[in-house]
Amino acid sequence: MAPSAHSNKDDLNLPPPKVSPGGSYDIEDVQAGCKLYVLRPGPNGMEERLAEILSRRDHHTAMNGMAVDSQPGSQYEYFVHWENFNKRLDEWISGARLLLSREMEWPRPKPPPGKGSQGKVPQKTQVSKAPKARKGTGGSATPAMPVQELKPPTFKLTQDDEDEDAEGEMDMSVDLEEPGSTRDSREPTPFFSKKQEIEKLRTSGSMTQSISEIARVKNLNRLQIGKHEVEAWYFSPYPKEYAHLPILYICEFCLSFYPSSFMLLRHRSKCNLLHPPGNEIYRDDDISFFEVDGRRQLTWCRNLSLISKCFLDHKTLYYDVQPFMYYIMTQRDSHGCHIIGYFSKEKESSENYNVACILTLPQHQRHGYGKLLIEFSYELSKKEGKLGSPEKPLSDLGLLGYRAYWAETILELLKNEEELSIDEIAQKTSITHADIMNTCTTLQLIKHFKGAHVICLTESVLEQHEKSIAKRKRKIKPENLQWRPPVFTREQLRFGY
């Protein structure tokens, strides 16, 4: 087993991680950070795959007191990351699937005391009111920093949306250490108060505050949303009382969540909501779009953000929904309007983003709804008379969806027009110049001809475009959009106060 590569400079001078041969360790020795081979279901039965252990829990805790399998190691469950697989496939497995007969790589040993930690403040050091200067690693004097105590994120889910001032500030300081790391000294992580978080949100976007959220261990197993039961992909900050339930039951209309089907049925007998709590601004066939204000529908939008966090790796903002408008795509039938997907949009974006977060629920993916959401966001940008682009970073599936939409839209326009400039394409599609240039470069449409760069369509590109167009079943009809860009006063844009 080859030792894994680490980018930390301090690790370059450390000895390689210890590797124990099979049979020299037992189930009790397996801890977070270890790498060993695990049985994984494959197309031809069970396969032996290398996996990293991220966390361990008692099996009876996960199964809520149900009988534990009698196989060796089944008293524990392990959360594993499969090497060379997407993170969304991380999962809890029974300890009986660990191959203790094969070699195991132990976590990298911690550095010797004092090495690589000059100038760092120990966690238990008390900082005086007037801190003295300390020596940094480069020998220059830098002020000492107070150490923040790491607390889990806390927030309220209450039906009283108007008493917003009663909510306390949320501690967004997050441990940046990898699971299983044994280093005992580290730099204090940045602390964001709610006021600072809102200011950062309004100036730099909503999806990039706490990138280490993606390292959190998945806490939900499955969600039941209406008649669909789906598996959660990532960690979502639901209250800890709901963590590790076999199934979390969610009302598909008001998005409230319950630990049992009986409680959900009792709620449905009282819940009279049959569509998202906003204005219907588009209707075509059985598809409708609703506009929901995050300030007016605080609890509903928070519940929506909690659901979306189960399927978006980079989404980190889920408690402060007031700065956003939410556009919900639904499918209508005799029972109501069922959510297919949504995108959120900042009320005031300094970067002219037209999408902050976009998601098609897993049970509705691969039906073309993602492109429909993207197309609708650009129709709103056309109504506003602005160029728009999605907020970065995009998820892997989001990036694929946007690339496909940009290519399809630009090629369709170029096919019907003999001569167009980049600026003319931008004005007709509301796609930014940078996104147009990136798309044309990716498709190799930009050629050098007589001392100038021109956009040239090839037969292979057109053939691929025709196949893509033939697959599309739905398109947004601009004449069905009944919407005017909302205008907000200064008081309405003072979020969180």
How far is C-alpha 298 from the geometric centre of its chain's CA atoms? 20
Beginning with the edge strand found earlier in the chain, give each strand of the sheet holding 91-94 in spatial order: 19-20, 104-105, 35-42, 45-58, 76-82, 91-94
What's the rounded Cα separation, in Å, for the pair 182 and 160? 43
Residue type, 249: Y
Integer angstrom CA distances of residue 490 from 203, 238, 348, 493:
16, 33, 11, 5
Two tokens, residue 241: 């009382």
What's the rounded Cα separation, in Å, for the pair 347 and 350? 10
Handedness of CA 243, 245, 247, 250 (dihedral sign): negative
Tell me the catalytic residues: 391
What's the rounded Cα separation, in Å, for the pair 359 and 463? 29
What's the rounded Cα separation, in Å, for the pair 219 and 244? 6
- 175 touches 150 (CB < 8 A): yes
CA angle in degrees (0–180, nearest 5) for 155-159-161: 75
How far is C-alpha 198 from the geometric centre of its chain's CA atoms? 19
